[in-house]
Structure 1
Amino acid sequence: MGLGRRALLLGTGGLLAGAAAGCSGASRAGPAASAVAATRSPVPLPTTTPWRPDRADVDPAVKLRAVQVVEAIGAWSAGQGGVAAAKRRVAALGAAPSLVDAAGALLPTADEAALQVVDAQYGGILADSASVLVVCRQWTPGHAGGTTIDVRLRRARPRWEVTSLHPARPGGAVPSLPAAARSVLAEPRITLPPAAAADVRSGHIHESVLRALLQLAGTYRMYVSVIRSGHPLNVFGTDRPSDHPRGRAFDVWQIDGHPVVDPSTSRRLVETFMRDAAAAGSYNVGGPVRISGGTGGQFFTDATHHDHVHAGFTA
């Protein structure tokens, strides 16, 4: 998604919040103002667009299938909310209606909802199975939020089949955050989707990750996809624990406005970012570029990291 559209969507979310605050103010202005506010048309939800994979992706079809199911569950017109309606939308895709039972925060109680998928990146991709991390923003009347869903799939004919959904569970915000966490949340050169921002507010992100993000923000504008929640517990296809659920890693899908997966994005930009992530303290930097140097296999590339840069940190 381009930066212009992202800015528009974020601005619309702010408009929703501002409109809600304005209605509250009107109700305090007296009976006449309250009557006007009661008859005022509700602020419309933002216009969104269906997400589409990049043609250069490792397997565009697997991402598209994951996103279609998420979009079917997380967006609906007025009067079409609820579990039963969501199951009908999913069934219309030829997917299992029971997937809706695990939708979690993706299916809020609201009369209508709009959803924009920001990015879909691999949590892992093998010959016959995959994890796609669907990062999305979501709006309901008077509220802007969103989540990240780890969508699991298996190869089937005529298309990939969604087998399960694992929504992010970031945990609640803590009353007192370390200075580095507050700085990350306030840094305009670091864009965090809803689940990643909630991860930082939860206080569960390691100091090394926060310091590295701030150091990189001195040079780059970054759009983070995943930090902690919404990522597989283990490195996909193995029994090795991932650094993400332990709050010791982050993934970036866009650098200086350029998607990592896009072949027109300068490979030099991506390589320089990966080397700077290592210089910021990452022991484990993965991406679409094969890089020499580093210590002890510090750099790696594979199909899973074709669409983002991963930076992992030790305790």
Structure 2
Amino acid sequence: MALPPPLRQHPPGALARRSLLLGTAAWCVCAAGCSNGAKSSSPAVASSSPRSRTTAVAVSSPGPELPAAMAWRPGPGEIQPAAKLAAVRLVEALGTWPTGQGGERAAAARAAALGIPSVLAAQLAAQAGSLAPSADAAVVRVIDAQYGGILSDTASVLVVCDQPTHSGATVRPGGTTVDVRLSRTSSGWGVTALHPAAPGPAGALDEAAREVFAQSRIELPPASAADIRGGAVHDSVLHAMLQLAGTYRLSVSVVRSGHPLDVFGTNRPSDHPLGRAFDVWRIDGHPVVDPATSRTLISEFMRAAAAAGSYNVGGPVQLAGGATANQFFSDDTHHDHVHIGFTA
């Protein structure tokens, strides 16, 4: 696949007052305290809107205006909302800063303010990667948090976010996806490591990629768009997106970068880092994780993904049939998104 020019991105929404910095939150959050969030009632474009109802939290910041910081909340239907909330709060803290408070040391201090031990906070700040672009100020706005894997005492939460920045007098769109690793102890879920997306440089778009970017019914977050611009996404993925967009509006969460290299908890390579899979977190404006979302809609979408050539379709519904015995699957990891994978 040929390499693409920079993607035109929609502006990150109406500019708000000069106020950015998220308040602190408890480091290990109990599940009971995380279950009261509600999903957004307006299905805005994924590149500018968080999934769940959010609350602006602000302090004064001089310089060009950035969108207000929005504290993400898990909605109904989450299996382990505390794990997602712990992951998101750290990403929000590391990736949001007002003018004059950038840099690794300040990021470590923001992580420590969440109650993370100072040594671990410094280690996590050093792992921020694409979550810490060079800029005078930045603000993270989480689009979605989905599982990369969930076991009894370990988890991977993929935090998909916009991250507009300003430097000098210029405000620029941006964003990344962070694979946040967590472990659970008697005191709750805590982050142990970060693996931010690293999509690589852009190149020239081939025809399938141009069609994907031109299709308004395919919503791509920043890291997924960068994956496609980088040319490492298989054409089978792009053609399937286009085929599905003929019937559905699909909000993509993850394509290649920002996903675990192996299927979580195993040593089997995942199709995502190979550019042969994509995940969808919202169908026609309805989050997959929301119990109010029609199981019929999700089931029909999964079958349409199989008809588009996917050999491996996972989601919150266990479907019968399929071209092979294992074409459809369901587990806790996939209760919040639909996985669509392809062979080489």
TM-score for both structures, normalised by structure 2:
0.80
The aligned counterpart of 1:31 is: none
Secondary structure of the 2:310 match is coil
The aligned counterpart of 1:16 is: none
Unaligned runs of 5+ in 2: 1-38, 50-61
Task: Please say if residues 46 and 251 of structure 2, whose CA atoms lie closer than 8 Å, have aligned partners that are also in contact.
Answer: no
Higher relative contact order (CA 8 A, sep 6+): 2
Query: Cα–Cα, structure 1 residues 78 and 3, in superposed 2: closer, same or farther, change >3 Å?
Result: farther
The aligned counterpart of 2:285 is: 257
Secondary structure of the 1:254 match is strand
Question: What do the CA deviations read for 1:186-219 (whole angstroms, capped 9, x no partner)?
Answer: 2110010000000000111111111000000000
Q: How does 1:157-236 map to 2 (within 5 A)?
A: 157-174=186-203, 176-236=204-264
Aligned equivalent of 2:114, options 82, 93, 102: 93
Moved over 6 A (4+): none
The aligned counterpart of 1:38 is: none
The aligned counterpart of 1:80 is: 101
State how many pairs are aligned: 285
CA separation in 1, counterparts of 2:177 and 2:73? Answer: 17
Larger fraction in helix: 1
Deviates more, 1:303-312 or 1:73-82: 73-82
TM-score for both structures, normalised by structure 1:
0.87
CA separation in 1, counterparts of 2:43 and 2:93? Answer: 21
Question: What do the CA deviations read for 1:221-255 (whole angstroms, capped 9, x no partner)?
Answer: 01100000000000000010000000000000000
Aligned equivalent of 2:155, options 130, 139, 155: 130
The aligned counterpart of 2:137 is: 112
Task: Please say if residues 93 and 111 of structure 2, whose CA atoms lie closer than 8 Å, have aligned partners that are also in contact.
Answer: yes
CA separation in 1, counterparts of 2:139 and 2:44? Answer: 14
Q: How does 1:276-315 map to 2 (within 5 A)?
A: 276-294=304-322, 295-315=324-344
CA separation in 1, counterparts of 2:240 and 2:172? Answer: 31
- The one-letter code sitting in structure 2 at the alignment partner of 1:229 is S
The aligned counterpart of 1:146 is: 175
CA separation in 1, counterparts of 2:41 and 2:278? Answer: 20
The aligned counterpart of 1:54 is: 75
CA separation in 2, counterparts of 1:288 and 1:90? Answer: 33
Unaligned runs of 5+ in 1: 12-40
The aligned counterpart of 2:274 is: 246
**How many angstroms does 1:123 deviate by?**
0.3
The structure that has the greater radius of gyration is: 1
Query: Cα–Cα, structure 1 residues 8 and 182, in superposed 2: closer, same or farther, change >3 Å?
Result: closer
